[in-house]
Amino acid sequence: MAERTRAPFRADVVGSFLRPAEVKKAREQLERNEIGAAELKQVEDKAIRALVAKEKEAGLQAVTDGEFRRRYWHLDFLAALKGVREVKAEHWSVAFRGRQPKGATVEIVGKVDFENHPFVEHFRYLRSVAGGTLCKMTIPSPSMLHLICCVRPEQYQPIPEYEDPRRLYRDIALAYQKAVRAFYGAGCRYLQFDDTSWGEFCDRQKRETYAARGLNLDEIEKEYVRMINLALEAKPKDMVITMHICRGNFRSTWFSSGGYEPVAETLFANCHVDGFFLEYDSDRAGGFEPLRYIRDQQVVLGLITSKFPKLENKDEIKTKIEEASRYVKPNQLCLSPQCGFSSTEEGNIMTEEQQWAKVRLVREIAKEVWG
């Protein structure tokens, strides 16, 4: 079976990489007002150039900027949307196992829109140093804005603009249409929506908690698929948009468990993304049976954990790929780490060399399985 020439690829990555020491140091200096934003950008630029070279050396067919310019995988993007602002939070609305990120969240304060977003320039820089290699951009899924602002908070009160929730779903989708067009105009042909909402909706305990608050997750899930599909209407034919489903990733911890069955039919059978990056690195993800709802999308199996440095056994991974092929055609399958290596600037608990050993392992297994 030949190597894929269209994303997602047989050997792929989710997106984020461990921040180099010099990037972390520069961010700390910025917080202490010892350097300015321009000096931080210079450090980030240099680190991204070096990262792209390492990604190419590792044999990746698409490169990312490692999310080096972000503090969080999601909040930096969401807070830069029009009508959204970042606020401090004493506690996160989700609980990681034993560790917690620095408290922050976002709230909707006006009409949601996408204008002059800094991430478009971030992508342009990535493309300028990629030397013709395909560049992948990762952003939080449309559903993340609604989940964070409207579902997780127990005391959510809509602003007058969005007393009718249908208006909010539509405005989020239309804002993301503008995002898709803006990234495409900047040369992006590989965009990924990162999404923890589906991971939460797979978690039995979380479903029970939301139900006790009177939330109908079945209806919310359908609204999310409709919202994402409306956003995808702006996607040109030569652009690939995938979705990565995550169960939480901070300092090698997690916050959701459960197989994909509760959301599989609604999501896999109806969402119009080109592929799904699915976490399958532990028993918390359940079995492969929910993949029976996959239509013609690519399925990138996240069988290699990005949380811990120990390398997986190749034969065990190959066996799992074979098991997945009972439900999805082999030519629809790909392989990647289960998540990024640094969903926040702190990063998972491993070294950079251990991180690259994981990437090399993905590449080696993909070659042996698919040729």
For residue 4, the model assigns a pLDDT of 87
Quick one: CA torsion of 317, 327, 239, 130, rounded to 10 degrees? 10
- Helix or strand holding residue 135 (H, E): strand 134-140
pLDDT in tens, 239-271: 999 999 987 565 545 456 689 999 999 999 999
What DSSP letter does each residue of 62-111 carry, written as one string? Answer: EE--TTTT-SBSSHHHHHTSEEEEEEE-SS-SS--SS--PPPEEEEEEEE
Residue 2: the pLDDT is 65
pLDDT in the model for residue 97: 46
Q: According to the model, what pLDDT value does residue 248 have?
A: 58
For 304, phi then psi, to 5°, come to: -105, 120
Q: Mapping DSSP to helix (H, G, I), strand (E, B) and coil, where does residue 310 land?
A: coil
Position 93 scores a pLDDT of 52
CB atoms within 10 A of CB 208: 9
Query: What per-residue confidence (pLDDT) applies to 129?
Result: 98
Tokens 């995002």: give the residue. Answer: 179
Amino acid at 320: K
Q: How does strand 104-113 pair with strand 82-88?
A: antiparallel
pLDDT score recorded for residue 252: 47
Task: State the alpha helices, DSSP H only, in the chain.
Answer: 21-31, 37-57, 75-79, 118-129, 142-146, 165-185, 197-201, 204-212, 217-232, 261-268, 314-324, 352-370
What residue ranges of the chain have pLDDT lower than 70?
1-2, 90-102, 248-257, 282
The pLDDT value given to residue 345: 87
What pLDDT sits at residue 91? 54
* Structural domains of the chain ordered from first start: 59-370 (3.20.20.210)
307 and 354 in contact (C-beta within 8 Å)? no
Question: How many Å apart are CA 244 and CA 140, to the nearest integer?
Answer: 9
Looking at residue 96, its pLDDT comes to 40
Amino acid found at 239? M
Which helix or strand (DSSP H or E) is residue 134 part of? strand 134-140
**Beta bridge pairs of residue 276:** 243, 299
Q: Using CA atoms, how far apart are residues 332 and 221, in angstroms rounded to an integer?
A: 25
Adjacent-strand bridge partners of 195: 245
Quote the CA–CA distance of 247 and 254 in Å, as a whole number.
6
What are the pLDDT digits (tens) for 118-160?
A: 999 999 999 999 999 999 999 999 999 999 999 999 989 999 9
**Phi, psi (degrees; rounded to nearest 5) at 345:** -65, -20
What residues contact residue 319 under an 8 Å CB cut-off, 6+ apart? none
